[in-house]
A = this chain, B = another copy of it.
């Protein structure tokens, strides 16, 4: 691939992007690698060539190449030039994201395979399994079996994002299953479910939503095999390759992956204290005519931010003015520890065809049941129903029958009261441990979440969560690297900590381990002869928003 083509996209692809120019160059190269436009081993232009071509200062290009090198995306070879790294897959993305089993069982607890070639496209005389998706995924999925492992089996995990296993309503579920099996409804558990869901569960979900002030007709509801399927179906329905999608920056890793796999162009909008930044949303709407906005107003993943009521109203008005649909992901709205829950964007919208609302019981109950739902305009739901059938025909019947009975017996509200009390204590425990343990360190910032599962933590710029993770594994604690949640570049100095999985004692121990790891990492940075030493932490203390 001629680099002129890559960088001729620079003006186009980052015209509306916030941030310094060197980051646009980084973004451009990263995107080109992910899309397969640049391949491992491809030569990049020299500093002189590139600065002259895109008309920026040479120091800007130098800074961009430094960042790209730090990200492991490029290698400079003295006397030969700068090349796309062959080992990039291991370093760009780390799949320690939203399912802690994935981290604990696959990455930490089990032996790791020897490294394999990144894909089979390049080899001759092999069957041709190539595609654009395939090239994209090669870098992401390949690394899953190739990550280095450090942590012991007894590591404390703040990674992932699943409910606390000790609070699964297993006892109630077991009672329900026994009683259903012995009733005349037992056989229904093994039959096909109607494609839009079991009629009784559908009615229960409509009543559940009515309790949130949402007025939903049967024709507007589709039961899903988990909440992730909603993202998949909406993207399947709406995203043609090259389409723009507005997302929060940062946002949910598996949404990014899904949209990217469909070759969408992601336009990230940052947050302030009240939620997504409306000026950036408006700029995105004007410049990119996106297919839709994907947003999590409650306990946003990964930041934990809850959007204010005013911001919700203004966001709905803005998207309504541009007639741009919203996919509202309410993955954890029922986990609310402060104040009353705020109305959904769906409820606030006067235009009844503006919002698709996506919900699930998984985060409050247990994830194994794999149930979620979409609510939206009838005409769109009709098409999404078709997409659901092309995807998996129908949702597992057993889970639906069981969950319906759980709701019918009023157990869900009881369960919520219990877990919300527990999770609130766990959140507070993590916050106070962090305040205590990180007091000695300057420049560490936290966002205090009002609900949900996640606590978002930033280190001083220039520090890397990957390096910290290596130290942390040695201390026996793990977390999710925050940069995975960025659709653009950046985020290397962020950590996502899940606070609901461990009790207060374990959390205190884990945060103490994390602080020890951080201390060792800082010592290493300061001792090292690398340029990072000049970017040592600032002297102001850390702030809790």
Give me the interface of A with B, judged by CB distance under 8 Å: 98-99, 101-102, 105-106, 113, 116-117, 119-120, 125-129, 131-134, 137-138, 140-142, 144-145, 162, 165, 168, 170, 173-174, 177-178, 181-182, 186-195, 219, 225-226, 228-229, 232, 236-241, 243, 254, 257-258, 261, 291, 320, 323-325, 351, 353-354, 365-370, 377-380, 382-383, 385-387, 389-399, 402
Q: Given A173-B190, A237-B134, A382-B144, A353–B129 Cβ distance below 8 Å?
A: yes
Q: Given A128-B323, A129-B380, A395-B370, A181–B177 Cβ distance below 8 Å?
A: yes
Q: List 10 A-B contacts (CB under 8 A).
A: A128-B323, A128-B324, A133-B236, A162-B192, A165-B191, A225-B225, A229-B392, A254-B390, A258-B391, A369-B396
Residues of B contacting A98 with CB < 8 Å? 393
Whether A387 contacts B192 by the Cβ 8 Å rule is no
Whether B389 contacts A254 by the Cβ 8 Å rule is yes
How far apart are the CA atoms of A323 and B228 in the complex, in Å?
A: 34
Residues of B contacting A369 with CB < 8 Å? 190, 396-398
Whether A387 contacts B174 by the Cβ 8 Å rule is no
Residues of B contacting A380 with CB < 8 Å? 120, 129
Q: Given A129-B377, A383-B134, A370–B391 Cβ distance below 8 Å?
A: no
How far apart are the CA atoms of A283 and B444 in the complex, in Å?
A: 64
Whether A325 contacts B129 by the Cβ 8 Å rule is yes
How far apart are the CA atoms of A531 and B230 in the complex, in Å?
A: 49
CB-contact partner of A291 in B113, B131, B177, B190, under 8 A = B131
Residues of B contacting A128 with CB < 8 Å? 323-325
How far apart are the CA atoms of A421 and B142 in the complex, in Å?
A: 46
CB-contact partner of A398 in B127, B232, B398, under 8 A = B398
Whether B254 contacts A383 by the Cβ 8 Å rule is no
Whether B367 contacts A141 by the Cβ 8 Å rule is no
Residues of B contacting A170 with CB < 8 Å? 186-187, 190
Residues of B contacting A379 with CB < 8 Å? 116-117, 119-120, 129
Residues of B contacting A377 with CB < 8 Å? 120, 127, 129
Whether A386 contacts B237 by the Cβ 8 Å rule is no
Whether A241 contacts B238 by the Cβ 8 Å rule is no
CB-contact partner of A232 in B165, B228, B391, B394, under 8 A = B391
A263 to chain B, nearest CB (A): 8
Whether B228 contacts A391 by the Cβ 8 Å rule is yes
CB-contact partner of A140 in B165, B168, B181, B386, under 8 A = B386
How far apart are the CA atoms of A350 and B142 in the complex, in Å?
A: 25
Residues of B contacting A187 with CB < 8 Å? 165, 168, 170
Whether B368 contacts A193 by the Cβ 8 Å rule is yes
Whether A229 contacts B391 by the Cβ 8 Å rule is yes
Whether B238 contacts A133 by the Cβ 8 Å rule is yes
Residues of B contacting A101 with CB < 8 Å? 191-192, 194
